[in-house]
Every structure is written in structure tokens, then in C-alpha cells.
Amino acid sequence: MTVAEAVAVLGSLVLVLARWLPPPARRPAALGAAAVVLAGAAFTLPGIRWQILLVLGADLLAVLATGGAWLLARRTGRGGRTRRRLALPGSLLCAALVAGGGVAAWALPVPVFPRPSGPSAVGTTVVQWTDPARDEAATPEPGDRRTVVVQLWYPAERVAGDAPRAQYLGRTRREAQIVAGAEAAYLGAPGFLLDGPARSRTHAVAGAAPAAGRFPLVLFSPGLGGVRTQNTAWAEDLASRGYVVAGVDHPYDSAAVVLDDGRTVRTRIAAGGDPDEDARRRISWTTLRAADLSFVLTELGRLDAADPAGRFTGRLDTTRAAATGHSVGGAAAMRAARLDPRFTAVINLDGGLDPDQGPLRQPVLVLTHEVRDRADADFVAKVTKVLDGGGATGYRLSVPGSAHLSFTDAPLYLPPVPALVGSLGPAESLRMTMATTAAFLDATLRTEAVDLPASLTEFGALSVHRPAAVR
């Protein structure tokens, strides 16, 4: 909630309750509160949020109810006791609306992204690539080839302080609204509940000139129904530290993907309820995502060899590339690394494993929420088996106070419900994800001298799984 919104809410609460103050204080309190409300509302224009409209609607209702009760008393000749009986239900209703609007504005804020911690400015751009070698399995049209939309965050040259910052969730406000509405619908919620993220700006500058250098790559696959931007704070932080992050939209899986021609492709992914059938579906989903990640790595190599725009030529080091993902995207990252040896490291952010997932040759970092029940314990056992059989050291970090969405941007704009976003708080959730993954990538892609166990144990319970040859 912004300061102006808080002012409007507090002023509204005084306004609707002024009727019940001692008689000498009623008029001054009401007039002063009305002035405060108008000032607060004026500062929120023209982008006033639905929560504040609810508060202002309560103000209007209070004024109308008070005026109506006064007129009725004048016409009937009845005294103040009647007016009080008529005004009481209206005052209670209006106070409830003001309180509800205020709580909603606080619980569903416009996200404010933390400033990236690295030394570089951050640029971003969105590209769309079509794989001529793969048909689009989700459509019956002959000749329809698999297309992905990819957002790059990269180290940029110094940018002006007043340079426009990139829109969150999309290239434009309209795209952001489409994506936010689709995400809300995917969660079974009304679209307007996620209008906050669609209003937000990030720290990256669209189209900024890349900084000089050759940078390691981090490819990211979002959660089921998730979108390429769901970990923007993390991506911007890594970019500021000298990585190029490529977030991938998987059409017909991501909640909504807006293509270059303006078409919106919505998800067709859904669980069926049969465990065996859902397991088969999951493998098909992660296999498709893994192929998308490999395709994106190939296209990044072509961009490095000869970017038509000249910006990324010689900037993208495909020999140092990590496959990463959240939730089912984490499983897809592990599958991609198993199928494609070009990936040199793997990060799985709280993603369950496929039933057929085998050990990996690459170093792996698995971040998980705290183990709470039998299902969590079974998941940990599967992860342990995969990491124990790996060809490089693997790390599993269980983070106390975290939940499944703690590893995304969600703590910045969803209600602080522990079951939903954990109990760490937005700042600590993001710091945990950024610090642990950056330390792992510095150690594996840059081969820097990092005390990785010490860096990871700051945030939770760490299990280290070394290859059998060095145990």
C-alpha cells in the first residue's frame, strides 16, 4: 500500500465514523477527513486501484446514508434517536468496506522490486523463436512448428537514471494485463485480484546496450502454468552479477503467451485426477519443456555467433550454461541436463522429480521447502537417490519458513499467508533464492573459489552428495 492509499483509507475511516463522535467534533472531523480523502485519492490518480475505489465507494455511501437519514427525520419530524438507528447499520457497513479495501490494498500490493545487488546495470529484451525441426503437438494444424517466447536479462552498459524501466509481466501494459488475468484464472481467482503486478515496473531497461564481456547463461523454465517473468527479481539480480538469464514461455503450458503477431496462446495443461495417467502426462510436459530449453540454448549460440542486430555477438558463452527451473520447470531442467550434455550445471527450485528421473553428470542444486509430512519425505528420498548417483557433487538445501512460492516473485504481491508464500517475508525470501543460486553458479559456471557449503547453510539444512568415486 502506498502512502497516498494509506492516507485515503485512514481519512475514509474517520469520515464514516465521524457521525458517532461528540457533537462539537463531528463537523470538523468530517470536513477534515473529507479533505484528507480527496488529497489521498488525487495522488493515486489516474492509476487508482480497485481497492481504493472500494474505499471511496464506502465514503460516498456514508455521505448518502447520512443525508438520507437527516432528510427522513426532517420529513417525519422524528428526532436524533431515529437518525442514529438508521445511521448505525450504514456506518457499520461503510466501516467494513473501508477496512476491507484497506486490507486488500495491503495484502495485494503493486510489487516493488529490490535493487539488483551486482555492479552492472540490467537490460532486457524479448525474442520469439520457431523450431523448424519440431511440430507443435498441441495443435492439429499441419506445418505448425513449435514456437517459444524468451525474455533475456543481461548485464548492460551504464543507463541513465531516468531511463524508462521495463514493464513487469509483459512488453506492454496490455500484455501484462493479459498475463496477470490468465494467471489469476489459472489459480481460480478473479482477474482483478492480480492487477497489482500488471502495474509494476522492474529495474531492467528494455533494449539497453549489453556490457562488454562474454557471459555465462542461465536458462529458466517456470512452474506449471507459470510464465517467463515469474522470477524477474532473481533474473535481474543474476544479470547484475554478470549472467545472461533466459526465461522461457512454453506455449500451451504457460498460463498465457502473447506472440509477436498479437495472438494470445493460453494453457491447455491440466491434471486428470488419475495418478498413473498424470505421471505419464507430467513426463510428456517436462520432455517438451526440456526440448524447449535445448532449442533455446541452440538459438543463443546462433545469436552469439551472429546476432542480426549486432548486440549479442560474442557476448553469450554457451559452454557455461545452467538449466534451471521452478516446480515442474525444475524437473524439466533436470531432464534437459540429462538429455543434453551442453548444460554444465542444474538448479531445481522446489520441483518434484519425474518418476523416471535418473542421476546427472552435472553439479546440481536443489532448493526445497521445509520437510513437513510424508509426501515431503518421499520427495526428499527421491532427490537423495538421484543426487547420490550423480557424476558431480549435488546439494539439497531445505529452507525453514519457506513455501512453494517462496522461490518466485510471489511474496512481493501475494498476501503474506505462510502456506502460500512462507513466513520468511518478501525481502528474505528473495535474498535466500538470490544468494544461494548465485553462490552455486559462481562455483560451477565461473569456477570461482566459493565456500559453497558455508554459503548455503546460512539459509537452511544442507545435504551434500558427492560422486561415488570421491566418497
At 109, the pLDDT band (50, 70, 90 cuts) reads: very high
Q: Which three cell numbers stand for residue 308?
A: 542480426
pLDDT exceeds cutoff 90 at 288: yes
Convert the pLDDT of each residue in 153-202 to its tens digit. 999 999 998 999 999 999 999 999 999 999 999 888 888 889 999 999 99
User: Does pTM surpass 0.85?
Assistant: yes
Question: CATH 3.40.50.1820 spans which residues of the chain?
Answer: 121-470
Amino acid identity, residue 318? T
Instruction: Please report, rounded to a whole number, the percentage of residues in the chain having pLDDT higher than 90.
Output: 64
The single residue listed with the C-alpha cell 520427495 is 379
Grid coordinates representing 28 are: 470538523
Report DSSP letters for 331-380, one per residue.
HHHHHHHHH-TT--EEEEES-PPPTT----SS-EEEEEEPP-SHHHHHHH
Phi and psi dihedrals of 153, rounded to 5?
Answer: -115, 130
Query: What is the sign of the dihedral through the CA atoms of 147, 349, 404 and 409?
Result: negative
pLDDT at 81: 53
In order, the DSSP letters of 186-230 are HTTS-GGGGHHHHT-B-S-EETPPBPSS-EEEEEEE--TT--TTT
For residue 84, pLDDT beyond 70: no
**In the chain, what percentage of residues exceed pLDDT 70?**
92
Is residue 82 pLDDT above 50, yes or no?
no
Return the closest-CA partner of residue 9 out of 113, 97, 137, 138.
97
For 46-78, the pLDDT digits (tens) are 778 888 888 888 777 776 666 555 555 556 555
**Homologous superfamily (CATH) for 121-470:** Alpha/Beta hydrolase fold, catalytic domain (3.40.50.1820)
